[in-house]
A and B are shown apart, each in its own frame.
Chain A
């Protein structure tokens, strides 16, 4: 509280105390210049973003929800704490420290330059002032603690994700090194740290300088860190006059540094203060599972030149703080492919800055016509873009809402259109265009897997069914997956489900065709399937294939097909809950579960499969990377159709080795025909064939149901 005998109005800080007029003028001139430099920087950046293509504007209601979500994410630091909790927490120290100090400075400006002179309202004194000091002192301490930790992390801990090694370039390339970002990284930390430290020194020096004034000296412990500095200064024999001189010097150093920092925000990584929040605000909540519908009638498709890129991606490129979470999560990067999602984003940033971020306005046409993909400096390499599995690990973990996945897809669309792709991929797309499946088999052969079944599956094109089972390519044609399809059919039959398939009428759903970037073929396939489905009577769609599941559920609505779609694992969980099927025995296996990207990360189907595993009685040991952090099997994005180049390790082998680490593992449970193909191979090539098996969840359940559920179906029986 305010000691007695001191008037509350005296308990304050006199700004510019003992300043001459020229000092005052010089300070305001510098401050105004700094604001002007800041404003110009903002103008240049906004102008850069505006040279991108506009996306769909969102409504006010959406805006309110988005603002609330953005505020929540920033306040909680939820996105920043994921997979790196300590760094996230310490960033919160810096964030809250900076925010409070900023609010504090703004409050002083409000009092000194606006309310005071205009309205004569003065509030910055007395008890309020003391509380203000206390809060800002604590904020400053947190700020310094956070910054110190970040320096320790960069300087001593040196996590690999923070190095700037570019997998998409070789040392011979001019743009190989991004090491120069380190200068900025350290300058950023040092500037903020110096602002914080000089703030405390300044506070202490003022106390010593004005030690004779009780309003200052008697209330000094309200600024505990300032008071400690003051005690230190007195201890080394600092006089009041000396402290006055020190205060004057520090005042200018601190003020100029802080104003310079503000001026430079739009030009340096400090801009993430604004861009990260904006990027999160603009982000597409369905970026992982729903790709933008391409216009096939336009002059070209996807992103060919810089001018094609939408504004949102330009903002995202500036939001990136190079935290390396995407770099760490990327399966292609982990397996040694020339791709880092971080470097993709930084390439876009550097191109946009170099060509669209000029300080002086210039005609934009030439810059916008700059090609994006190629082998030149600053271009995305085709190999880089083709390494992507579209697994979404990067986009899902990004704490600032960068959407690498659709960006890479849009870049691929033009490459496909130009024929700039692997010849194996070209052959597969050709086969899909011709036969409607990626196995280059005749349409007639699609339902052949049903021949060995002791039951006849209804033809959903000819009679109404309750459940329409969309089988998908792999589950129809791949001999290993056909076994799973038959197991699923027997389970449905035993449960007395009224179900049917489309027989020859089904073509591949096109999820991966779209992920490759062949948008035209995808739309054709989807339109064909929608037409076939529109002639059928059913109440819901079930599929064992997470890829088909994803596109049917999330992307077919754009092409006129809205259905209730469930993945087989969720449907089996329903049947278990409803008592339509019941395990006859408990399996005494130790199993682990590999989350398929398209079911897990893309559609948040994490729990149902685990509950099905639990129902079988098998002991589930989680993989080190599971659920949202699941590690792609390597098949996604059309990579299942492209042979891995010699010399690279396979993504699937990394995963198989991860599973092999689990003590006493009997079964690696997968839940996707493509994961089955990739991981069964990888288990063999990593020499684990004798150690554990790969089974689909459906098969595991079928084994548990066996005694009473599957056996009766062995006798031929008609369904329905």
Chain B
């Protein structure tokens, strides 16, 4: 039985950064890249299922979509216990949105035939929380989002999951497998991948595929396969603020001034 864990290489921003010339994203020179934190929990969930099962019966496959810079992310995932890593890349993927990405993941899932697809609940950079759900929709599989607990015996026809609701409520759901689950932070404690383990993961091959290999046409990938397009990324103008100083009566006087200014 396989568990497919799609992972994303996410960007974190410096305090100071510049936008790309086309104004549609941040200049990557100002970003640090790492494995998406939500995906770490999804991966740990998969590895825990593997470790609880008899050896050799569960295979954890990680998948990412992007250029070879993303290999670091896959190596980290391999170091944390994934068995195989797949990277899908194509020059035309640049303008892909969540749905376009989900098309690729769904195709890989069709090929690999996993019992579960475990995604992070969202990415820490864009935070759409749509990729996993789109994958389920494309596959026509049952899906549960923002899972905070999972009981699943490999090969079983269903899994029991829990979701945390407002007011401390817990919703318990039985879901038929194969299914797509998106995993919430805190479901477990992701293990540390030591540099030694990551180095040793360098010896493992990363399987490279293209959308064509997967049977996707050019109309289904990248910007053409997307349902949305980023028009602009920008920093909105900040509101004004002022520290009012002085004695309480001076402060009150200044406050009145401001109120009058605002009221016009």
**A residues adjacent to B (C-beta < 8 A):** 294, 296-297, 301, 416-417, 419, 421, 423, 426, 429-430, 433-435, 442-445, 518-521, 523-524
Contact = CB atoms under 8 A, between A and B. Distances in A.
A434 B198 CA distance: 13
Interface of A is mostly: helix
Interface string B174-207: 0000000000000001011011111110000000
Contacts of A434: 32, 34
Contact of B196 (A417, A421, A442, A444): A417
A520 B192 contact: no
A618 B15 CA distance: 42
A1 B199 CA distance: 80
Contacts of A442: 14-15, 30, 32
Contacts, number: 50
Given A423-B189, A444-B14, A445-B15, A518 B194 contact: yes
Nearest to B76: A433
A444 B27 CA distance: 14
A520 B195 contact: yes
17 contacts: A297-B200, A416-B192, A416-B194, A417-B194, A417-B197, A429-B192, A430-B192, A434-B32, A434-B34, A442-B14, A442-B15, A444-B16, A518-B194, A519-B196, A520-B197, A521-B194, A521-B195
A433 B73 CA distance: 12
B194 A520 contact: yes
Interface in B191-229: 191-192, 194-200
A149 B198 CA distance: 58
Nearest to A296: B196
B32 A426 contact: no
A442 B16 CA distance: 10
B38 to A, nearest CB: 15
Nearest to B203: A297
Contacts of A423: 189
B14 A524 contact: no
Contact of B14 (A433, A445, A520, A521): A445
Nearest to A416: B194
Given A296-B200, A416-B192, A421-B192, 18 more contacts: A296-B195, A301-B194, A426-B192, A430-B192, A434-B32, A434-B34, A442-B14, A442-B32, A443-B32, A445-B15, A518-B195, A519-B195, A519-B196, A520-B194, A521-B194, A521-B195, A523-B195, A524-B195
B199 A520 contact: yes
A435 B194 CA distance: 15
Nearest to A517: B194
A495 to B, nearest CB: 33
B173 to A, nearest CB: 29
A416 B191 CA distance: 10
Nearest to A519: B196
B32 A520 contact: no
A444 B31 CA distance: 10
Interface string B111-139: 00000000000000000000000000000
Interface centre among B189, B195, B198 (most CB of A within 10 A): B195
Contacts of A519: 195-196
Interface centre among A423, A434, A519 (most CB of B within 10 A): A434
A523 B34 CA distance: 20
Given A416-B192, A445-B14, A445-B15, A520 B30 contact: no
Nearest to A521: B195
B59 to A, nearest CB: 21
A416 B195 CA distance: 10
A416 B193 CA distance: 9
Interface string B36-71: 000000000000000000000000000000000000
B50 to A, nearest CB: 16
A507 to B, nearest CB: 13
Nearest to A427: B192
Contacts of A445: 14-15
B22 to A, nearest CB: 22
B236 to A, nearest CB: 23
Contacts of A294: 196
Nearest to B197: A417
A433 B32 contact: no
